[in-house]
C-alpha cells in the first residue's frame, strides 16, 4: 500500500477498499446461508440385503396390495392374501394404518394390468395415510 507523506497539497484519488471488502464478506455469508447446501429431490428408498442369514418375515407388518388381471372385467384386489373389493379398499387400509407408526405399503400388479389401476391403488393408499409406497415387480431371471 502506498502512503503519502508530507504536504503535497493535492487531493488523493485512491479508493479506500476496506469497507468494500467488509460488505463483500457480509454478502458472501448471507448468500451462503440462503442457498441450500444440498438440493432437495425425490426420496428414493433402495432395498438393502439382510445383514444376517435369518430372514424374519413378519406378514403382519408388511402390507402388500395385489392387483389381479381378469380378461374383460375389472381387476380383483387383495390385501395380504385377503380378497377386498375396490370400494372397501380405502376403509380397510385406513383401519390397518390407523395405529401404525411405520406407514409403508407395497403395490404388486400383474404384467397385463394397466398402470391406471396401480395408480388408483397408490392414490387410495395416500388417502389412507400411507407415507411410503413401493412398487413390487416380478423377479427377472438371469437367462431371459
Task: Provide the mean pLDDT of the chain.
Answer: 80
The reported pLDDT for the residue numbered 107 is 92
Scanning the chain, the segments in alpha helix (DSSP H) are 18-34, 89-96, 115-127
Least confident window among 59-63, 99-103, 105-109, 124-128: 59-63
In this predicted structure, the answer to whether residue 96 has a pLDDT above a threshold of 50 is: yes
Ranges of each domain in the chain: 63-136
Q: Give dist(CA 7, CA 91) in Å, integer.
A: 92
SS3 (DSSP) at 67? strand
CA atoms within 13 A on the CB side of 50: 6
Is residue 8 very low, low, confident or very high in pLDDT (cuts 50, 70, 90)?
low
* CATH code for the structural domain at 63-136: 3.30.420.270
Amino acid at each position: 500500500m502506498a502512503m503519502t507523506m508530507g504536504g503535497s497539497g493535492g487531493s488523493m484519488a485512491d479508493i479506500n477498499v476496506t469497507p468494500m471488502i467488509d460488505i463483500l464478506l457480509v454478502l458472501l455469508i448471507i448468500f451462503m446461508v440462503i442457498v441450500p447446501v444440498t438440493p432437495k429431490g425425490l426420496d428414493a428408498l433402495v432395498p438393502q440385503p439382510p445383514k444376517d442369514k435369518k430372514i424374519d418375515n413378519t406378514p403382519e407388518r408388511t402390507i402388500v396390495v395385489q392387483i389381479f388381471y381378469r380378461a374383460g372385467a375389472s381387476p380383483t384386489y387383495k390385501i395380504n392374501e385377503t380378497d377386498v373389493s375396490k370400494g372397501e379398499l380405502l376403509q380397510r387400509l385406513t383401519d390397518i394404518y390407523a395405529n401404525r407408526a411405520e406407514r409403508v405399503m407395497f403395490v404388486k400388479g400383474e404384467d397385463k394390468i394397466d398402470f391406471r389401476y396401480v395408480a388408483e391403488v397408490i392414490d387410495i393408499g395416500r388417502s389412507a395415510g400411507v407415507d411410503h409406497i413401493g412398487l413390487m415387480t416380478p423377479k427377472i431371471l438371469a437367462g431371459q
